[in-house]
Structure 1
Amino acid sequence: MAISCTPAINNLPLNRHPTPVSITVNNERYFADHPLLLQLDRCSDSTQLKQIHARMLRIGLFSDPYSASKLIQVAAYSEVSSIQYAQKVFDQIPRPNLYSWNALIRSYASSQEPVNALLIFIKMLHGSDELPNKFTFPFLIKASALLSALSVGKGLHGMVLKSEFGSDLFVLNSLIHFYGECGCFDMAYRVFMSMPKRDVVSWNSMIVGLAQGGYAEESLDLFFRMEGENVRPNDVTMIGVLSACAKNLDLELGRSMHLYIRRNGIKESLVLNNAILDMYVKCGSMEDAKRLFDKMGVKDIISWTTMLVGYTKVGDFSAARSLFDTMPCQDIAAWNALISAYEQNGNPKEALATFNELQLRKEAKPDAVTLVCVLSACAQLGAIDLGGWIHVYINKHGINLNCHLTTALIDMYSKCGDLEKALEVFHSVDNRDVFVWSAMIAGFAMHGRGREAIGLFLKMQEAKVKPNSVTFTNLLSACSHSGLVDSGRGIFNQMESVFGVVPGVQHYACLVDILGRAGNLEEALDVIDNMPISAGASVWGALLGACRLHGNIDIGERACSNLLELEPQNDGAYVLLSNIYAKSGRWDKVSELRKLMRNSGLKKEPGCSLIEVDGNVHEFLVGDNTHPLSKNIYVKLDEIATRLTSVGYVPMKSQLLQLVEEEHVQEQALYLHSEKLAMAFGLISISPSQPIRIVKNLRICGDCHAAAKLISKLYNREIVLRDCYRFHHFKGGSCSCMDYW
């Protein structure tokens, strides 16, 4: 973070006065035992503090330097006042002593606006005769750490080296912590190694900093060095070490460290036990975690929430829910853990049900984290009504629309089919980070509006927001969905040379998809053969999908073989190759693949379509007859079939995965696809003025795509369908994808 005071700090000469003179020094304690000052220590509320202040002014005690500094101390960082009042008291002192300056700097360094600590310090240097001491610098360095103000901290470091405190243990420990917080571990280590003397805090600052900064191995190495130098670790040390074990997913070493703590008599604390618990959970050993959890005499909400997250992480949602129900205090963090677990593990319906329960209980208030999780669940289900309600809730309750929430809203509206609403959210905020821009580019991509995605990318560059890996994945997807082959090639080639983003497997998969869908299969294969990294399943899958589109059996067989080598249980690979064979009339090959799938115990993932009506999400499977309105749905489906036939519609039997001899059975199999059931339900349940919005788990088949175009024209309805690849907006007999998907 850039702060305007940086040049001032860097350019200030520390030794302005060879022998600084101050008329107020803190050791002039003539009135230390004055009754009013004794009352200050027992002050219980702000009213009493102000009364004491007034009496000090009346009797002239406030003019005594020690007495004034004592009042500043209580006003600055006791529980009975506020920093604003402390500032007002400070401003009344004509010549505050260093103790008073330090009290105010310390208070601001721990406040919501630590930058004020640095501004007060500059005021002290310019407007008083006081010079910083060994207590001043740690507060200033702490403020710089909170602000991640690296240049300011370096300036303070320079002042420390010029002063007599260059070897002060407390100051140097603060610098180690500062550099660690800023991610400058080389500098932190240099300070650490230059110290004439190190205490356990010095070692802890390095060990904890490295562990939290993602340098787990280095953190552990330092711990073993610490042991070798006979420095006794404490509970803080072990928290850092356990964090490193958790990041390395090293359960064996984590267990050894747990045993080390017991054998070496390291003081047990709730924080330490929570760290051990967290290590077991992150390493996937719920048995060890539960054993410790059950033994813990004292537990807090962190203990309970850690266990809750652990159960959800291993997929034991029953145990997670049971634990949640027995929690003594279900704060919003616990609710968030449960909702997030459902949402992130493919259970969006359960996530929304849990959120509804939270609303009904009214025991905890949803926060930004809750809403981000719920919006993500809405996006998965296509539940735009609930997603829109969340948007209204955010505005109604004045919740700050931070970048996380903005991204979640854009993602929700985009995935629910309302791109204009997503754009409205995007344009309504001033603060847009790379994820906000990337989410909007993704919205354009999934709706097939590639040129607009590229245009937004150019505006992103004008706004000087640096794109990341996700940005380019979304941008390349936009080119793929819109057939922008030259643009896709150009963007891919500029990734590393212009923007410094090294293409990963996903980017290569996008490039292969761009080339393959455009029919450039040989070029796509050449890209794969010359990749500097191993071609993952997504790369071969993209090529196989392109071969299905263009009916290329030879390259399709090679792509399928490589894909199954990487993912032997990938049922989608068999399905795509089956579709290639079916398209060419090679039913013998289709039968062979079906037999191979049966022998391997693989089954094609069933088609599933979701549709939201009046805030409720309805689910349809292939041939589903479980819906309460199933009879009406099939009556509507028969009507649709009749009307389609009357305008010359012929079912695409090549879309069947296996050869079915009977003609009527072939047609019936196609009519039972889940998206057709959802369309029929939408026609009888949703007002003609509203679009029918459907979300499908698989790629829409060619027959359903052709039928949807005609249905939109025959019934004069807008149908918005999202499959696993992109959006299709059907209206007036045509589709937004222009049959390019």
Structure 2
Amino acid sequence: MKVRQKLRQAIDSLYAGGQATAEAYTPLVLECVRVNDVGQAKRLQSHMDLHCFTPNDTFLHNRLLHTYARLGKISDARNLFDKMPQRDIISWNTILSVYAKSGSVENLRALFYKMPFRDSVSYNTVIAGLAGSGFSSQALEVFLRMNREGFEPTEYTHVSLLNACSRLLDLRKGKQIHGRICVGVLGRNVFVWNALTDMYAKCGEIDKARWLFDRTDNKNVVSWNSLIAGYLKNGQPKKCIDLFQEMQLGGFKPDDVTVSNVLGAYFQSGLVDEAIEVFNLIKNKDKVSWTTMIVGYVQNGKEEDALNLFAKMLAEGVKPDSFTISSVISSCAKLAYLCNGQVVHGKAILLGVDNDLLVSSALVDMYCKCGITKEAWIVFDMMPSRNVVSWNVMIRGYAQNGQDLEALVLYEKLLQQKLKPDSITFVAVLSACNHAGLIEEGRIYFDSISKRYALVPTLDHYACMINLLGRSGCMTEAIDLVNNMPHEPNSLIWSTLLSVCAIKGDIENGEMAAKRLFELEPLNAGPYIMLSNMYATCGRWEDVASVRSLMKSKNVKKFAAYSWIEIDNEVHKFVAEDATHPQTEIIYEELGRLIKKLQEAGFMPDTKLVLHNVEEEEKFASICYHSEKLALAYGLIKNPHATTPIRIMKNIRVCGDCHMFMKLVSKVIGRPIILRDSNRFHHFVGGSCSCKDYW
């Protein structure tokens, strides 16, 4: 503080003394620069502009220019540079570095080609600036020019060039640069060695990267991170974890980049508990580590844990970015937690990331998966820019919610935007045709995949067509499609065929599909249960017993069917004939009241759908207390007079009796019901369903 006071006194004395020479100003400006008093330096500079300058002023200007560059004051640096009567190579290189560090690529390139003279620093600055801003190809072009003009590259040149090759995954050019390094004097430079290791790892030659790493004289955290990230990217999470442990045994302290990659390795390996242990060891958790954990939870089906962790992240005062927000929104979408999703949407608006392409696409998906396509369309319509992914989400959302024609209209609009549909687009379009029973349109869209857009139809596309053909009564054509596929049919194809056979009562083809699934997925209970149900429907109880005996011998476990409903930001789960809820008694009373009301209107539960050889009374009790019916009763208890829809989620396909039950309840109580099962959304309104009884 005393230094600045003395400096200001000296400046005041200079001003008071009247006109002074440039030599009097120079030491004061330099002192202002030294103590980072940029404001005073600028004022002195303005005074100096009124006087004549000596040749030494270029040195003074360069010092001030360097200070502006260091502090990121781009406009001040540019203004000073424009006013300089004389510029040397230092002046030009300094302003180049300003543009390079700020990412002003166009200004960087324009200034570079405008320079009256250049040196190796000029080239290094431009190459680093271009490579750092993602213009890797242009960085390599500038290097070729540097080479032609005879300038010798430095370690910084090679590091920038290798980083450019890493981004482009250009192994060939990377090897050429490696060859140049080997014949020069920089072959053992630690920064160059790290960049080489990173380049080989990112370009897929992980063994070469390991060879370089093992021969590094001075290993540092950057070296370890490059190889750890390389193993992760090349699908070798175990080696990534082993190297992390080796790093710790060697006495190296992991940084945030290390932890982020290792957490990713644990989650790829399904080692969630180990990932949690590593995460808990981090003392100062940053945005990257929090986001990595949240994404890991989402990828491993732990969406509720992801939401809880996000709440802790906010409580710790860590500011999320668009990637964090989009991951959390995806969790809300998978769980169909509308209230939580709306809260996160509000948070995105406050953070100013709601218009980010990743976030807005996730919001569209979330609202669609919560059954609110109107809100999804509002977000979609307001997006400042859209890519094929955004369009796919909205098209698929319409198809899932029974708005099949809207989905197909939106597909035509996508084509009008001159965007090329991808494989996911056609899955959504064919799904819309499937649910709407548009067999001819489905054939046309399926043929266009290869003939019009030169794409290879995937197994997902074939599954959609098999479903469409089978359900439309063209079973022979569906079987021919399975037999003549260019791919080997997988479990998706056989599951689709089995599902169609179950709906159509085609025992012969159903048995064939089920046996294929027994071979491909011997521990998956689904095919056994579906085939058993087909036998039960026909009264073939001996065959039912045979399938159940086979399940027992193979130790195949049935998965639990359950439904859930969100009330006042709290989720309530139910299983069939559930008696664990604290309000079980009144839930059953409400459900009994509903059943009685429907019976008075002529509805009788379809006990034929109870596929067990038991008494009629037991069948009646079994089918009346399915999990979605219990969830509905609880929703009516908690919100008896509301006009908003009751939203219920179920983890498997809704049965025919529950589907009819929901339709009639929506008519009797005059209130919409939205049920999301494993197949699609069912919007029950006034006694009808959006799926048109086709699910």
TM-score category of the 2 structures, normalised to the smaller one: 0.7 to 0.9
Identify the match of residue 110 of structure 1 among 101, 113, 121.
Answer: 101
Partner of 2:556, secondary structure, is coil
AA aligned opposite 2:625 = L
Maintained 8 Å contact 2:33/2:41: no
The SS at the match of 1:467 is coil
Counterparts of 2:251 and 2:425, CA distance in 1: 45
Residue 362 (structure 1) shift: 3.7
**What SS class does the counterpart of residue 452 from structure 2 fall into?**
helix
Deviation, structure 1 residue 553: 0.9
The whole-number CA distance in structure 1 between the counterparts of 2:179 and 2:360 is 46
Q: Structure 2 matches for 1:370-519, cutoff 5 A? A: 370-519=324-473
* Structure 1 residue 39 displacement after superposition: 3.9
The alpha-carbon deviation at position 157 of structure 1 amounts to 6.7
Amino acid of the structure 1 residue aligned with 2:614: E
Contact 1:235 1:268 in 2 (8 A): no
CA distance in 1, matches of 2:137, 2:268: 40
Q: Provide the C-alpha distance between the structure 2 equivalents of 1:196 and 1:685, rounded to a whole number of angstroms.
A: 72
* Larger RCO, structure (CA 8 Å, separation 6 or more): 1
- Which amino acid in structure 1 is aligned with residue 122 of structure 2? T
Tell whether 2:693 aligns with 1:701: no
Summarize the Cα distance change of 1:461–1:182 in structure 2 as closer, same or farther, 3 Å threshold: farther
Deviates more, 1:281-290 or 1:341-350: 281-290
Shift of the 181–101 alpha-carbon distance from structure 1 to 2, 3 Å rule, reads farther
Shift of residue 272, structure 1, vs aligned partner: 2.2
Mapping for residues 631-710 of structure 1, pairs under 5 Å: 631-656=585-610, 658-686=611-639, 687-710=641-664
For residues 150 and 441 of structure 2, the distance between their equivalents in structure 1, rounded to whole angstroms, comes to 59
Match of 1:183 in 2: 168
**Partner of 1:529 in structure 2?**
483
Deviation at 1:357, TM superposition (A): 2.8
Contact residue 103 and residue 133 of structure 2 kept, 8 A:
no
Deviation of the 1:389 alpha carbon: 1.5
| Residue 15 of structure 2: aligned partner | none
The match for 1:601 is 555
Task: Measure, in 1, the Cα distance between the counterparts of 2:631 and 2:165.
Answer: 55
| 1:270 maps onto 2:228 in alignment | no
In 1, the alpha carbon distance for the partners of 2:153 and 2:76 equals 33
Distance 1:565 1:429, change over 3 A: same
- Rounded to whole Å, the distance in 2 between the matches of 1:619 and 1:243 is 50
The one-letter code matched in structure 2 to 1:88 is N
Letter in 1 for 2:655: C
Aligned to 1:139: 125
Flag the 1:674–1:293 CA change in 2: closer, same or farther, 3 A. farther
Contact 1:445 1:453 (C-alpha < 8 Å) held by counterparts: yes
The alpha-carbon deviation at position 63 of structure 1 amounts to 6.2
Question: Distance in 2 between the 1:274 and 1:184 partners?
Answer: 18
| Shift in alpha-carbon separation, 1:76–1:498, aligned structure 2, 3 A | farther
- For structure 2, the residue ranges without an aligned partner over 5 or more in a row are 1-21
Which deviates the most, 721-730 or 530-539? 530-539
Q: Cα distance, 1:634 vs. partner? A: 1.1
Decide whether aligned partners of structure 1 residues 525 and 143 sit closer, same or farther in structure 2, where only a CA change above 3 A counts: farther
Deviation at 1:309, TM superposition (A): 3.8
Distance (whole Å) between structure 1 residues aligned to residue 176 and residue 281 of structure 2: 48
1:71 maps to 63
Question: Alignment identity in percent?
Answer: 31
**Cα deviation, residue 301, structure 1:** 2.7
Whether 1:301 and 2:288 are equivalent positions in the alignment is no
Helix, strand or coil: the match of 2:371?
Answer: coil
Work out which of the residue numbers 15, 22, 39 in structure 2 matches 1:47: 39
Does the CA contact (< 8 Å) of 1:36 and 1:56 recur in 2?
Answer: no
**In 2 relative to 1, CA 299–85 (structure 1 residues): closer, same or farther, beyond 3 Å?**
same
Residue 686 of structure 2 corresponds to: 732
For the structure 1 residues 172 and 301, does the alpha-carbon distance in structure 2 shift closer, same or farther, using more than 3 Å as the test? closer
Q: For residues 256-313 of structure 1, what are the alpha-carbon distances to aligned partners after superposition, in whole Å with 9 as ceiling and x for unaligned?
A: 938x756x45212122233455567752254653453365443323334444444444
CA distance in 1, matches of 2:448, 2:139: 36
Q: Letter of the aligned partner of 1:334 in structure 2?
A: S
How far does the alpha carbon of each residue in 1:522-555 deviate from its partner, in whole angstroms, 9 at most, with x for none?
2122112111122221111111111111111111
Give the alignment's Cα RMSD to 1 decimal. Answer: 3.4
Aligned positions of 1:194-343 closer than 5 A:
198-199=183-184, 232=188, 234=190, 237=193, 241=197, 257=210, 261=213, 264=215, 266-278=217-229, 282-284=236-238, 286=241, 289-290=244-245, 292-293=247-248, 296-343=251-298
| Distance of aligned partners of 1:330 and 1:152 in 2 relative to their CA distance in 1, 3 Å threshold | closer
Question: Does the Cα contact within 8 Å between 2:541 and 2:613 map onto a contact in 1?
Answer: no
Q: How far apart, in 2, do the equivalents of 1:620 and 1:530 lie?
A: 44
Tell me if the contact between 1:280 and 1:289 (Cα under 8 Å) persists in the aligned partners.
Answer: no
Matched-pair contact (CA < 8 Å) for 1:410–1:423:
yes
TM-fit CA distance, 1:613 = 0.9
The whole-number CA distance in structure 1 between the counterparts of 2:515 and 2:588 is 40
| Of 42-51 and 350-359, the range deviating more from structure 2 | 42-51
CA distance in 1 between partners of 2:555 and 2:175 (Å): 59
Structure 1 Cα separation of the partners of residues 669 and 160 of structure 2: 71
> Counterparts of 1:637 and 1:35 in 2: how far apart (Å)?
89
Q: Which residue is 2:508 aligned to? A: 554
CA distance in 1, matches of 2:250, 2:120: 44
Residue 99 of structure 1: aligned partner: 90
Could you say what secondary structure the match of 1:620 adopts?
A: strand
Partner of residue 17, structure 2: none
What SS does the aligned partner of 2:468 have? Answer: helix
Distance 1:322 1:334 in 2: 13
Does the 8 Å contact 1:72/1:104 carry over to 2?
no
SS at match of 1:730: strand
- The answer to whether the 8 Å contact 1:46/1:81 transfers is no
Q: CA deviation at 1:381?
A: 1.4
CA distance in 2, matches of 1:616, 1:64: 73
On the 8 A contact 2:563/2:573 being kept in 1, the answer is yes
Superposition map of 1:24-63 within 5 A: 35=27, 39=31, 42-50=34-42, 53-54=45-46, 57=49, 60-61=52-53
Q: Is the 8 A contact 2:671 2:685 kept in 1?
A: yes
- More deviation, 701-710/390-399: 390-399
Distance 1:116 1:68 in 2: 24
Question: d(CA) in 2 for partners of 1:304 and 1:151?
Answer: 31
Aligned letter for 1:390? V
Task: Name 1:358's counterpart in structure 2.
Answer: 313
Kindly indicate whether the alpha-carbon contact (under 8 Å) linking 2:171 and 2:203 is maintained by their aligned counterparts in 1: no
Q: TM-score, normalised by structure 2?
A: 0.86
Q: Which moved more, 1:701-710 or 1:345-354?
A: 345-354
Q: Deviations over 1:402-456 (max 9, x none)?
A: 1110111011000011011000000011211121111111111211222222221
Quick check: 700-709 or 346-355, which moved more?
346-355
